[in-house]
């Protein structure tokens, strides 16, 4: 079977790389054997989709809580006039945030996530950033508990899909474990696409390939890493809609466990600390090729016991693309 031609998405391969990427010394060889394709075809198609931005990266997905300097996080909603959104977005992007979206809310239009070593530093960083942007009206929603964070796109269902279980509540710090943080970061951002992807890392860090594989397995068991697979660009893969569903409830933990069990379409499920004027303590994300699946999920959730109200804030624009 040929790989990807003329920009066509290689769905078969992408599903394997997302959902069944093997953690061993020869992962691309095993993928090729499973699909009945040559390893050269699998590698060249994977590289092509990386070059086109369909695959954002392949490798280990690190849990930010394991890194002391960024172990606290918050979601921020900022009230920004439409004609100033790009200007504000550039300043936010200057802090190298990972998420920055213009969303469909009548008041808070710009939504971004930001990290810091502790709560005081987090609040100070946000306040300083918003002052520099000339934004006076904003809501700060620190993460209280992350129940799930696993972004996978089911290319046949047309909606995000992951049956991953509950994320550990307590995550050990990398420096406490005595693990080489540089190695972990390279496993996340610079994982080679080759027949022997661990070979170059083995030489650089003076560990055997099997020792590196065992280290990744250990980090996943301890929650330092969330997984080992490919991460796609939802937009490039045809998932044009992403909705942030906010839930008003007095029972966020109980409801979160139910959502984790009953709604596999969720990619992010987070309980947040909320101020009195923004009483939506539970947040989840769903990605889809159209709004219809997201709206159906919203209706399902609204019918659940303990749910008082929901709202969906759709992405209008990914503001990371504005640049700095």
Residue 24 in any domain: the answer is: no
Summarised one tens digit per residue, pLDDT across range 139-148 is: 999 999 999 9
Which whole-number Å values give the CA distances from 61 to 57, 66, 141, 284, in the listed order?
Answer: 10, 12, 23, 19
* Average pLDDT score, the chain: 95
Residue 252 in any domain: the answer is: yes
Residue 34 near residue 63 (C-beta atoms within 8 A): no
Angle (deg, nearest 10), helices 39-51 and 11-19: 90
Confidence label for 287 from pLDDT (cuts 50, 70 and 90)? very high
User: How far is it, in rounded angstroms, from Cα 126 to Cα 75?
Assistant: 10
Confidence label for 3 from pLDDT (cuts 50, 70 and 90)? very low
Residue 135 in any domain: the answer is: yes
User: Residue 211: how many CB atoms within 10 A of its CB?
Assistant: 12
Residues in the chain: 324
Summarised one tens digit per residue, pLDDT across range 206-240 is: 999 999 999 999 999 999 999 999 999 999 999 99
User: How far is it, in rounded angstroms, from Cα 101 to Cα 99?
Assistant: 7
Token pair 């990605």 in the structure block, residue: 287
CATH number at residue 108: 3.30.70.3460
User: Residue 71: how many CB atoms within 10 A of its CB?
Assistant: 17
Summarised one tens digit per residue, pLDDT across range 14-34 is: 999 999 999 999 999 999 999
Residue 318 in any domain: the answer is: yes
Summarised one tens digit per residue, pLDDT across range 86-121 is: 999 999 999 999 999 999 999 999 999 999 999 999
Confidence label for 304 from pLDDT (cuts 50, 70 and 90)? very high
Query: Could you list the residue range(s) of the whole structural domain that residue 101 is in?
Result: 68-163+235-322
Residue 177 in any domain: the answer is: no
User: Considering the entire predicted model, what is its pTM?
Assistant: 0.93
What are the E-state strand segments in 32-191? 55-62, 72-78, 100-103, 110-116, 138-149, 153-154, 159-160
Residue 4 in any domain: the answer is: no
Closest CA to 68 of 138, 105, 121, 20: 121
Summarised one tens digit per residue, pLDDT across range 154-196 is: 999 999 999 999 999 899 999 999 999 999 999 999 899 999 9
Confidence label for 8 from pLDDT (cuts 50, 70 and 90)? confident
Residue 254 in any domain: the answer is: yes
Confidence label for 7 from pLDDT (cuts 50, 70 and 90)? low
Confidence label for 324 from pLDDT (cuts 50, 70 and 90)? confident
**Complete DSSP assignment for 218-283:** HHHHHTSEEEEEEEE-TTTTT--EEEEEEEEES-HHHHHHHHHHH-TT-SEEEEE---TT----EE
Q: Is 142 helix (H, G, I), strand (E, B) or coil?
A: strand
Domain count along the chain? 1
Which residues have CB under 8 Å from 131's CB, separation 6+?
Answer: none
Confidence label for 5 from pLDDT (cuts 50, 70 and 90)? very low
Residue 179 in any domain: the answer is: no
What are the E-state strand segments in 129-223? 138-149, 153-154, 159-160
């Amino acid at each position: 079977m040929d790989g990807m031609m003329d920009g066509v998405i290689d769905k078969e391969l992408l599903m394997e790389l997302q959902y069944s990427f093997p953690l061993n010394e020869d992962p691309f060889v095993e993928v090729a054997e499973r699909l009945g394709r040559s390893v050269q075809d699998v590698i060249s198609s994977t590289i092509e989709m990386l070059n086109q931005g369909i695959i954002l990266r392949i490798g280990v997905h690190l849990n930010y809580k394991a890194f002391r300097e960024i172990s606290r996080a918050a979601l921020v909603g900022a009230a920004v006039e439409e004609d100033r959104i790009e200007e504000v977005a550039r300043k936010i992007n200057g802090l190298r945030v990972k998420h920055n979206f213009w969303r469909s809310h009548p008041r808070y239009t710009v939504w971004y996530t930001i990290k810091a070593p502790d709560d005081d530093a987090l609040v100070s960083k946000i306040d300083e950033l918003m002052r520099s942007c000339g934004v006076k009206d904003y809501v700060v929603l620190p993460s209280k508990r992350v129940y799930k964070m696993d972004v996978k796109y089911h290319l046949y269902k047309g909606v995000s899909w992951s049956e991953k279980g509950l994320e550990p509540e307590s995550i050990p710090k990398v420096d406490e474990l005595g693990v080489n943080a540089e190695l972990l970061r390279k496993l996340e951002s610079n994982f080679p696409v080759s027949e022997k992807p661990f070979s170059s890392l083995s030489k650089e860090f003076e560990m055997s390939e099997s020792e590196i594989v065992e280290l990744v397995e250990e980090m996943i068991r301890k929650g330092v890493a969330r997984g080992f697979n490919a991460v796609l660009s939802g937009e490039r893969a045809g998932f044009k809609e992403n909705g942030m569903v906010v839930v008003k409830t007095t029972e966020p933990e109980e409801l979160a466990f139910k959502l984790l069990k009953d709604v596999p379409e969720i990619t992010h499920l987070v309980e947040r600390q909320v101020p009195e004027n923004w009483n939506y303590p539970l947040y989840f994300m769903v990605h889809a090729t159209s709004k219809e699946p997201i709206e159906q999920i919203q209706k399902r959730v609204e019918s659940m016991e303990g749910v008082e109200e929901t709202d969906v804030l759709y992405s209008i624009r990914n503001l990371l693309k504005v640049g700095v």
